[in-house]
Amino acid sequence: MARSPRALTLAAGVLGLALVPVGAELLNQPFYVDLFRRIMIFAIAALSLDLILGYGGMVSFGHAAYLGIGAYAVGVLTHHGIANGYLQWSLAILGSALVALAIGAVSIRTSGVYFIMITLAFTQMLYYLGISIEEYGGDDGMRLAVRSQFPGLLDLRNGTAFYYLVLAILLLFLLLGQRLVNARFGMVIRAARSNEPRARAIGFSPYRYKLTAFVISGAMCGLAGALLVNHTEYLTPEFMHWTRSGEIMFMVILGGIGTLMGPVLGAVVFLLLEDVLSAWTVHWQIILGPLLVLVVLFAKKGLIGLVPEEAPPGG
């Protein structure tokens, strides 16, 4: 069976990620487990965005909302003494799915720049809601008293176990995404993206398909939020700040829009870049900003575009 360069890159990437805790142990640098766990959590968020952005053409500028809903589901339950992870994470997924359903139902009626602005505005609404609820910390946020509990199965306080759980979820979502975009459902979404009137003419109702994709994407991102708050052990409305949505979107574009590996690669490069630049200067954003402009202007297909899709003939 011929292996394409992209499949090889994917295999190498997964192997690399799987070996991070081992390497960190050898180098006695537990910090790397933390860094790459954070990277993978954002990779999940970026992947969920790319499902609707890259395949569905829906420029959602509010994906941070679901990150926030997922985080608040965990944070709020913990605050009230319920630390059961099954319950928390189910609520995170269900809650963000419901919010995505509400936001999507309104925004998908519109398109283009209206869609961008509306998703942005709704997320900002949730952000201000988070800020104004004093009981859950208001704009100061609050500490997560204890990480989600999975008695008998897994202890998230063990950093390495948590790391492999995140990796497993990322792989699961990659697989799920692969099945989804190549299924009939994914084909309809992609058809609606390239020519919506034609998709309608051949008998599909794109609205329902797009809304379903929007909800699936929101639910995936909600789980990423539940992971993120367990990672930071701190709940803050900043999860929902609109610049967060911009960063997630940048990861997708940087890595390569409309591919499954692209967002993951984008998250890795973006967050490593952030790590390196912020170690170098506190004003790292003054470098990142123009860099973003340059990437948009000159690297249309993203980093994944550098890896050829098919093996060269005869190779």
Partner 1 sequence: MLLVLEQTLNGLQYGVMLLLMAAGLTLVFGIMNLVNLAHGSLYMVGAYLATGFHQWTGSFLVAVPLALAATLVVGIVVEVVALRTLYERDHLDQVLATFGLILFFNELVAIVWGRAALYTSLPGWLSGHMLVLPGVRYPVYRALVILVGLVVAALLYLMVTRTRLGMLIRAGASNRTMVAALGVNIRLLYTVVFGFGAALAGLAGLMAGPIYAVQPGMGEQILIQVFVVIVIGGIGSIRGAVIGAVIVGMVDTLGRAFLKPMLSTVLSPSAADTAGPALASMLIYMLMAAVLAVRPQGLFPVR
Binding residues for partner 1, per CB under 8 A? 53, 59, 61, 106, 109-110, 112-114, 116-118, 120-122, 124-125, 128-129, 131-135, 242-243, 246, 249-250, 253, 283-286, 288-293, 295-297
Burial class, 72, CB count within 10 angstroms (exposed 0-12 / middle 13-18 / buried 19+): buried
Compute the distance between CA of residue 11 and CA of residue 121 in angstroms, rounded to an integer.
Answer: 39
Minimum Å distance from CB 278 to partner 1?
12
The SS3 call for residue 59 is: coil
Q: Contact 288/278 with Cβ under 8 angstroms? A: no
- Look at residues 86, 106, 222 and name the one whose alpha carbon lies nearest to residue 150: 86
- Look at residues 185, 240, 222 and name the one whose alpha carbon lies nearest to residue 44: 222
Q: Which of 1/297 has CB closer to partner 1?
A: 297
The backbone region for 259, taken as left when phi is positive above 0, alpha when psi lies in -120 to 50, beta otherwise, is beta
Q: Which of 187/288 has CB closer to partner 1?
A: 288
Amino acid at 149: Q
Q: Which of 230/245 has CB closer to partner 1?
A: 245
Q: Which of 18/129 has CB closer to partner 1?
A: 129
Minimum Å distance from CB 214 to partner 1?
16
Minimum Å distance from CB 118 to partner 1?
6
Minimum Å distance from CB 62 to partner 1?
11
- Look at residues 88, 48, 33 and name the one whose alpha carbon lies nearest to residue 231: 33
Q: Which of 117/171 has CB closer to partner 1?
A: 117
Q: Contact 199/188 with Cβ under 8 angstroms? A: yes
Q: Which of 115/163 has CB closer to partner 1?
A: 115
Minimum Å distance from CB 281 to partner 1?
10
Minimum Å distance from CB 174 to partner 1?
23
Minimum Å distance from CB 263 to partner 1?
14
Compute the distance between CA of residue 107 and CA of residue 116 in angstroms, rounded to an integer.
Answer: 9
Q: And the tokens for 91? A: 């609520």
Which residues pair with residue 234 across a beta bridge?
A: 143
CA dihedral (219, 224, 227, 229) in degrees, to 10, reads -100
Q: Which of 166/213 has CB closer to partner 1?
A: 213
